Amino acid sequence: MGNCCNQDHKQDDIYKTSINEREKQDIKSLNDPTSNHPASKMHAPAETVAQKCSEMNSVATKVQSVENSLKTFVYDPNISARFQDLSIMGPYKYPNGATYFGQYKEGKRNGRGRQVWSDGSVYEGYWLNDQSNIRGRIIHSEGDYYEGEWSMDKAEGFGKYCHADGSLYEGEWLGDLQNGKGKEQWPDGSVYSGQYKDSLKHGKGNFLWADNAKYEGEFFENDIQGFGIYTWADGRKYTGDWKKNKMDGKGLFTWPDGRSYEGEYIDDKKHGYGIFRWKDNKVFKGQWVNGKQEGEGEITENGETRKGIWKEGDMLK
């Protein structure tokens, strides 16, 4: 989900729609030089920055569908109070094709405002110095949307990002990327809850898969890596070291029927020294290579211990 909120949209054909009657009345008042409307020309953007227009860009079909499914964006009265002396102006069209209707201060978008890009994507929320800030919601033309905190045109703070396919992230952001603690869910029911760095699972976290397998432990750049506990849906369990999503290092593997292996792993296979115990109390201690006994070892069975040499899992002598 990285770089998911950046507002630099490509230029497509410009679609326009009529703005509502209240907005038309506001515009008429703003543009009337004899009007006592509190807005003044000093707050309007320079003609070299943006041009007056009579209509906002058309909202993309998928964007409209998302807007219809969501509640109307709610402005915080306490935040809005900071901009109460600024008047609504517009719509204005910018060189990148975007149209904006909302509050201005000294020629820049400040306060509450709504912007529609030429591809039909929409941002509604607060602005500071021509950038989305504080709180807002952006709905991309393909139907993904983010709602939450902003800083200088980037998602920053706490927010929720919903993909058109139904996957969802809710948590902390920094620089338009998932950073900090968060929770991610997928349409198949899989859930991850834990730490992120630059939109990758990184640090401690818990992952529950759709088949009820689960992992609790450390992640590194989206991979299971470090120390952790993985439990399969059938009851198998591994507790130990991981590297790039594979058992690698020292660990303990247990089976529901009572068997266990405690020892070294490389690349998901028993490799090195390890101890294997069967449910009937038989025990093997020795060397392993690629998942099989290999080299010197000893086996204890019915109270008797025998030492020997193993080759590809078979005792030679």
Q: What is the pLDDT of residue 42?
A: 78
Residue 261 counted as domain residue: no
Residue 298 counted as domain residue: no
Q: Write out pLDDT tens, residues 85-131.
A: 998 999 999 999 999 999 999 999 999 999 999 999 999 999 999 99
DSSP state of 73: P
pLDDT at 178 over 60: yes
pLDDT bucket at 184, cuts 50 / 70 / 90: very high
pLDDT at 6 over 70: no
Under 8 Å between Cβ of 155 and 176:
yes
Residue 191 counted as domain residue: no
First to last CA, the chain: 57
Residue 56 counted as domain residue: yes
Q: What is the pLDDT of residue 104?
A: 96
Q: What is the pLDDT of residue 9?
A: 38
Q: Write out pLDDT tens, residues 48-65.
A: 999 999 999 999 999 999
Q: In terms of pLDDT, which residue wins out, 6 or 129?
A: 129
Q: What is the mean pLDDT of residues 177-204?
A: 98
pLDDT bucket at 159, cuts 50 / 70 / 90: very high
Q: What is the mean pLDDT of residues 258-267?
A: 98
Map residue 74 onto helix, strand or coil.
coil
Q: What is the pLDDT of residue 25?
A: 43
pLDDT at 191 over 80: yes
Q: What per-residue string of b and e applies to 6-41 under the rule 16 or more CB within 10 Å gives b?
A: ebebeeeebebeebeeebeebbeebeeeeeeeebee
Domain extent, residue 73, equals 1-142
- The total domain count for the chain is 1
Q: Write out pLDDT tens, residues 12-30.
A: 332 223 334 434 444 333 3
Q: What is the pLDDT of residue 252?
A: 98
Residue 209 counted as domain residue: no
Q: What is the pLDDT of residue 41?
A: 67
> What is the full DSSP assignment across 219-255?
EETTEEEEEEEEE-TTS-EEEEEEETTEEEEEEEEE-
pLDDT at 311 over 80: yes
Residue 254 counted as domain residue: no
Q: How does the average pLDDT of the chain come out, rounded?
A: 89
pLDDT at 133 over 50: yes
Residue 234 counted as domain residue: no
pLDDT at 4 over 60: no
Residue 88 counted as domain residue: yes
Please tell me the pTM assigned to this model. Answer: 0.83
